[in-house]
Amino acid sequence: MLRFIQNFICFGIESFFYIIKGGIKFYLWLLVLISLSGLVFIAGAIQGYYGMIVTGLNDQVTWGIYLANFVFLVGLAAAAVTVVFPAYIYKHKETKHIVVLGEMLAIAAVSMCMIFIVFHMGRPDRAWHVMPVIGIFNWPNSMLTWDILALNGYLGLNVVCGFYYLYKKYMGEPVNTNFYMPLIIISIVWALSIHTVTAFLMNTMPTRPMWAHSVLPIKFIVTAFAAGPAFMIVAFSIIRNNTDLEISDKVFDLLSQIVVWCLGIALFLTLSEVVTEYYPSTEHSFSLKYLITGMHGLNSLVPFFWAAMIFMIGSFIALLNPKIRKNYTILPMVCIVAFVGIWLEKGMGLVLPGFTPSPIGEFVEYSPSIIEIMASIGIWATGLLIYTILAKGAIGVLLGEIKFREYPDS
């Protein structure tokens, strides 16, 4: 046991010194992310001092841009399964080589989820209220407690699987499949559960008719499996162009096909919802009408919806063309458009209009305050910083530049 601890400490130290080495582009990227991450502390200090009054939230609209980002990022975390599943279930060799980079993305995304939740809480010092034993962990009655278990469990699985694999690679030893593979299988199922539970958290609210339908969990999963691989295509392109790590074209071909078909299903579900709500045109369709065309002179979300549709439909049509999917210069740019479109549709276009009108019919508009925007930019920068650090260390191990060296006793 002592030997293992010593080796693991060496693994951490060598990884640290490898991570801090890099060229001018790497240091500039870190400088930008660290600078933007400082916005978290500025916004957090202001919000902590003055309270939630500095946000755009009100009595009618109690979920804003913090929860919109949270819902989106849960999907981004779950999307790690799009590389884990092909690698270990279908034995896709090219994907197995870089699957740990997907697990590192899951860790970064869940970390961002938790920071957004802390900002949304207003009083994070009271988080102990929902902790087991010391608080009132109302499980299984509360859907929120299911979400807490799902997210923390998924984070733990990816930390264990990802770092266990890297440590074994560092030591030059094979993984213990009797230990490792059951965790991989559990993580695959768990990935689906975290976004399903998040959808249940929303669609079990009967006072929010825009969310109260059984298709929501399916829509959450397909949008996650479109946005996640889109992000990975961009990240893997940057890694392949700026490091010595070889990432096969087959990885990009697989991920781009997942993006295009899941994006197509997501669009189908969105348009089906529009027809379902608009055709009978009852009071239950008011939230969707407010989102698409505006109501009673309130239309701040309308541009977000139409921008999302243009981005999603445009990128879907582009990705249907095999020549674009195999053009590895254009492909990342199309994926960025798809990623932004899904964020607009899933965050601004789903979470926010669900609160307008209120259960008693009040139409109140919400716009994020400058504090919320600062915090959101800072949290995204923090998440990208976490992913950059984790991915850099993982790449060093995969390339064999971080490996165990047996030093003779002095």
Condensed to tens digits (0 to 9), the pLDDT of residues 143-156 reads 888 888 999 999 99
User: Tens digit of pLDDT for each residue in 89-133?
Assistant: 888 888 988 999 999 999 999 999 999 999 998 888 888 888 888
Q: pLDDT value at position 393?
A: 94
Q: Which distant-in-sequence residues (6+ apart) come within 8 Å of 143 by Cβ? A: 197, 200, 201, 204
The answer, yes or no, to whether residue 406 has pLDDT greater than 70, is: no
Distance CA 91, CA 399 (A): 21
Q: Sign of the C-alpha dihedral, residues 339, 270, 102, 108? A: positive
Task: From 206, 205, 203, select the one nearest 217 (Cα to Cα).
Answer: 203
Domain residue ranges in the chain:
59-398
- DSSP, collapsed to helix, strand or coil, labels residue 132 as coil
Q: pLDDT value at position 106?
A: 95
Name 298's bridge partners: 295
The gap from C-alpha 100 to its chain's centroid, in whole angstroms, comes to 16
User: Tens digit of pLDDT for each residue in 294-333?
Assistant: 888 888 899 999 999 999 999 999 999 999 999 999 999 9
User: Tens digit of pLDDT for each residue in 197-244?
Assistant: 999 989 888 888 889 888 899 999 999 999 999 999 999 999 999 999
Contact 344, 65 (CB under 8 A): no
User: Using alpha carbons only, what angle is made at residue 203 by residues 229 and 190, rounded to the nearest 5 degrees?
Assistant: 45
Average pLDDT on 55-71 reads 93
Q: pLDDT value at position 407?
A: 54
User: Tens digit of pLDDT for each residue in 37-49?
Assistant: 999 999 999 999 9
Residue 326 half-sphere exposure, CB side, CA atoms within 13 Å? 4
Q: Containing H/E element for 238? A: helix 216-242
User: Tens digit of pLDDT for each residue in 339-396?
Assistant: 999 999 988 888 999 898 888 888 999 999 999 999 999 999 999 999 999 999 999 9
Class of domain 59-398: mainly alpha
The answer, yes or no, to whether residue 410 has pLDDT greater than 50, is: no
Q: Is the peptide bond before 353 cis (omega within 30 degrees of 0)?
A: no
